[in-house]
Amino acid sequence: MNYQKQTNNINNIRPLKIFLIFLLHGLKSFGGPVAHIGYFRNDFVDNRKWLSNDEFQDIVALCQFLPGPMSSQVGYTIGILKGRLLGGFLAWLGFTAPSAIIMIGFGMSTYIIKDGIPLSVVHGLKLAAVPIVAWALYQMTVMSCGGLIKITLALVACLLMLITNSIPIQIGLIVLAAIAGNFFIKSDSKTDQTQIYNPFSKIVSIVSISIFIFLLISLPILVVFTDLKEIELFSSFYRVGYLVFGGGHVVLPLFQNEVVPTGWVDQNTFLAGYGAAQAIPGPMFAFAGYLGTVSELGFHYLQPWAVGLIAIIAVFLPSFLILTAALPYWQILRVKPSLKSSISGVNAAVVGLLLAVFIDPVLTSSLLSIEDCIIAFCGLFLLAKKKVPVWLIVVLTITLGSVLHMYETNVILEFIDIKF
């Protein structure tokens, strides 16, 4: 492979073109991170020939290895390879902007609509999350929980989260899963010889990791010594950004533990937003924009939509700092079996965390009747067996769930009127 030719052509893609290409992906990429990766591969490997298949797979492996939203990181890396840091930023902006605008707009609607979103619609949105998360959970289990040790890690993580449901326990589980994976999970020591071009010097890597560590340490300190709720929210969502592996639905338990127990967002509002997030294209991390917009923290200076923007920046920033820092060292890291084993342990534990949230609150607050169970099962069947698009599943589930809940509510009210 002619790496010199690739190096010389690295900046031939104009920044505006990078932005517009990824904006198009942000408008049409439904289905979560696995589907996003497929869209990227078809476009940048098969159609545009920006990367070879081996190079693309190596980028995916790097982004799977690191915390953060995997598909957004893949897009960010491709943007970097074709336009350095500006290209990476524009790739992220184009891919994220549509979903961010929609989710912040949906959050703002809760302030505009009198008495908030109707309860029937909220129920339909909550119900829509059931088949989507169930299918994502199945796919993740197949990919990440092969073997007795990984299954055990997943089940232990699930059980502990159902019992405790605390952020420190969740962080501890991720750390312990990495340690257990290092000792008990065997990793294939073989690796291919593919190399992706690295446009950064080690100085850029050092600066990036220094910024990451500085924010990691300083944000919790600032929260203690100031009363600015904006900093508290930024610190919280920044923590989510560096703890989640794989992105997509994996972020659900982390978001839920950050905003619901603290009272920032109530359970129904959280699940309604999560249901709405299933129906839109782009990265699931844009859900942060909705959570920031509807959060009840008593902000001093900013409008709700601006708080939503802060939440989105905070949740994406740590993963991109880590990725930028790791890129110059990836050719060394990728051949370390111990690191592969650790990340396998983390991936298994993350499946358990998602299973716990799927049980409570997704199932417990969404399936309120036999009819709800039937609608959710039909949605799962259409998604898994008939390959119906995710957005259509969401629209059908929301519609049926909303109408059914409205009908049942009217029946109950009529019964009360007659009885009393």
Q: What is the pLDDT of residue 115?
A: 60
The reply to whether the predicted model has a pTM over 0.75 is yes
3 has a pLDDT exceeding 60 = no
Q: pLDDT confidence of 7, banded at 50, 70, 90?
A: very low
189/79 Cα distance (integer angstroms): 30
30 has a pLDDT exceeding 60 = yes
Instruction: Count the domains in the chain.
Output: 1
Cβ distance 32 to 390 under 8 Å? yes
Which range among 43-47, 145-149, 349-353, 368-372 shows the weakest confidence by mean pLDDT? 349-353
Q: Compute how many other C-beta atoms are within 10 angstroms of the C-beta atom of residue 172.
A: 13
Mean pLDDT of 144-156: 91
Provide the token pair at 10: 């690295």
Q: What is the pLDDT of residue 9?
A: 43
Q: What is the pLDDT of residue 416?
A: 47
Q: What is the pLDDT of residue 188?
A: 61
Q: What is the pLDDT of residue 310?
A: 94
Mean pLDDT of 391-418: 67
Q: Give the N- to C-terminal CA distance of the chain in Å, as an integer.
A: 81
Cβ distance 289 to 103 under 8 Å? yes
230 has a pLDDT exceeding 50 = yes
179/184 Cα distance (integer angstroms): 9
193 has a pLDDT exceeding 60 = no
> How large a percentage of the chain has pLDDT more than 70?
86
Mean pLDDT of 126-138: 81
Strand partners, 245: 67, 68
Average pLDDT, rounded, for the chain: 83
- Which residues, 6 or more positions from 225, have their beta carbon under 8 angstroms from its beta carbon? none
The 3-class secondary structure across the chain, one letter per residue, is: CCHHHHHHCCCCCCHHHHHHHHHHHHHHCCCCHHHHHHHHHHHHHHHCCCCCHHHHHHHHHHHHHCEECHHHHHHHHHHHHHHHHHHHHHHHHHHHHHHHHHHHHHHHHHHHCCCCCCHHHHHHHHHHHHHHHHHHHHHHHHHHCCCHHHHHHHHHHHHHHHHHCCHHHHHHHHHHHHHHHHHHCCCCCCCCCCCCCCCCCHHHHHHHHHHHHHHHHHHHHHHHHCCCHHHHHHHHHHHHHHHCECCHHHHHHHHHHHHCCCCCCCHHHHHHHHHHHHCCCCCHHHHHHHHHHHCCCCCCCCCHHHHHHHHHHHHHHHHHHHHHHHHHHHHHHCCCHHHHHHHHHHHHHHHHHHHHHHHHHHHHHHCCCHHHHHHHHHHHHHHHCCCCCHHHHHHHHHHHHHHHHHHHHHHHHHHHHHHC
299/390 Cα distance (integer angstroms): 35
Residue 64 or 76, more confident: 76
Q: What is the pLDDT of residue 415?
A: 43
413 has a pLDDT exceeding 60 = no
191 has a pLDDT exceeding 80 = no
Residue 221: burial class (beta carbons within 10 Å; 0-12, 13-18, 19+): exposed
Q: What is the pLDDT of residue 411?
A: 46
Q: What is the pLDDT of residue 298?
A: 67
Distance of CA 244 to the CA centre of its chain: 8
Residue 255: burial class (beta carbons within 10 Å; 0-12, 13-18, 19+): buried
Residue 416 or 96, more confident: 96
Range of the domain at 32: 3-419
69 has a pLDDT exceeding 60 = yes
Mean pLDDT of 94-109: 94
Q: What is the pLDDT of residue 238?
A: 96
Distance of CA 71 to the CA centre of its chain: 9
418 has a pLDDT exceeding 60 = no
Report pLDDT digits (tens) over 338-394. Answer: 877 887 888 788 788 878 878 887 888 888 889 889 999 998 998 888 778 777 887
Mean pLDDT of 139-146: 82
Report pLDDT digits (tens) over 304-330. Answer: 999 999 999 999 999 999 999 988 887
281 has a pLDDT exceeding 70 = yes
Q: What is the pLDDT of residue 72?
A: 93
Distance of CA 254 to the CA centre of its chain: 10
